[in-house]
């Protein structure tokens, strides 16, 4: 559920993540070309080529998804939802509907408490995930199924109010 009226929205500062991913991509391509040119005896094994191309595609995907990340609360006839949109084309979305959200709270957390920088964890496999672009203020959602999701946003209190979870 991602259609409806936007109640509150914040574009996350992902410049550092984008730059680092771009540098890793650049280094990966450079090392790959150098490796291919220095091999004696001719061609690169097919398996090595396949792994290299797959890793490059993964890095390009992460790069494109990190260019733009927007966190919003959407009002719809079914209630309010938290929606996170990744990438320039906004094709990848992560939604938390009102029936999934048991509670929302504002937290001030260290990088260690959130599990590190970037997208960490898995709601499906570990029942915990975090989208971390910096330390400090974060929105914590306690979800149905004993799951937990954290996203760093400025003024998480505003998101708590927008989700209708304020006490």
- The pairing of strands 147-152 and 128-132 is parallel
Q: Verify that 145 and 84 share a domain, yes or no.
A: yes
Question: Cβ distance 7 to 73 under 8 Å?
Answer: yes
Question: Cβ distance 67 to 59 under 8 Å?
Answer: no
Residue ranges with strand state E in 13-135: 69-76, 79-86, 92-96, 101-109, 118-122, 128-132
Residue 129: which domain range? 5-12+70-162
Q: Verify that 77 and 158 share a domain, yes or no.
A: yes
Q: Verify that 110 and 152 share a domain, yes or no.
A: yes
Question: Is residue 33 in a domain?
Answer: yes
Question: Is residue 82 in a domain?
Answer: yes
Indicate the number of domains in the chain: 2
Question: Is residue 167 in a domain?
Answer: no
Average per-residue pLDDT in the chain? 84
At residue 20, what are phi and psi to the nearest 5 degrees? -65, -45
Q: Verify that 62 and 123 share a domain, yes or no.
A: no
Question: Is residue 95 in a domain?
Answer: yes
Give the pLDDT confidence score for residue 36 in this predicted structure: 63
Residue range 35-57, pLDDT digits in tens: 666 664 556 667 776 777 787 78
Q: Verify that 84 and 56 share a domain, yes or no.
A: no
- Local structure of residue 119 (DSSP, 8 states): E
Question: Is residue 22 in a domain?
Answer: yes
Q: Verify that 74 and 156 share a domain, yes or no.
A: yes
Residue range 59-99, pLDDT digits in tens: 777 777 777 889 999 998 889 999 999 887 777 889 999 99
Q: Verify that 108 and 153 share a domain, yes or no.
A: yes
Token digits of residue 78: 């079914």
Q: How wide is the angle at C-alpha 47 spanned by C-alphas 45 and 49, nearest 5°? A: 70
Give the pLDDT confidence score for residue 37 in this predicted structure: 62
Q: Verify that 96 and 123 share a domain, yes or no.
A: yes
Tell me which residue has tokens 């400090």: 136
Q: How confident is the model at residue 1 (pLDDT cuts 50, 70, 90)?
A: very low
What gap in Å lies between CA 54 and CA 60, rounded to an integer? 10
| Higher per-residue pLDDT: 109 or 19 | 109
Residue range 117-132, pLDDT digits in tens: 888 899 999 999 999 9
Q: Verify that 139 and 123 share a domain, yes or no.
A: yes
Q: Verify that 51 and 91 share a domain, yes or no.
A: no
What gap in Å lies between CA 109 and CA 63, rounded to an integer? 26
What gap in Å lies between CA 67 and CA 89, rounded to an integer? 10
Question: Is residue 143 in a domain?
Answer: yes
């Amino acid at each position: 559920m991602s259609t409806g009226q936007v109640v509150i929205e914040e574009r996350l500062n992902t410049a550092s993540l984008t730059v680092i991913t771009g540098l890793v991509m650049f280094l990966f391509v450079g090392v790959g070309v150098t490796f291919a040119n220095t091999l004696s005896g001719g061609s690169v094994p097919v398996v090595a080529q396949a792994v290299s191309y797959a890793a490059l595609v993964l890095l390009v995907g992460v790069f494109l998804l990190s260019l733009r990340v927007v966190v919003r609360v959407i009002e719809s006839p079914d209630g309010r939802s938290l929606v996170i949109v990744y990438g320039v084309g906004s094709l990848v979305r992560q939604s938390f509907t009102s029936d999934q959200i048991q509670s929302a709270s504002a937290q001030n957390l260290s990088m260690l408490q959130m599990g590190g920088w970037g997208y960490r964890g898995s709601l499906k496999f570990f029942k915990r995930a975090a989208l971390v672009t910096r330390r400090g203020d974060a929105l914590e959602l306690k979800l149905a199924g004993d799951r937990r999701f954290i996203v760093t946003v400025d003024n998480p209190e505003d998101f708590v109010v927008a989700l209708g979870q304020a006490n």
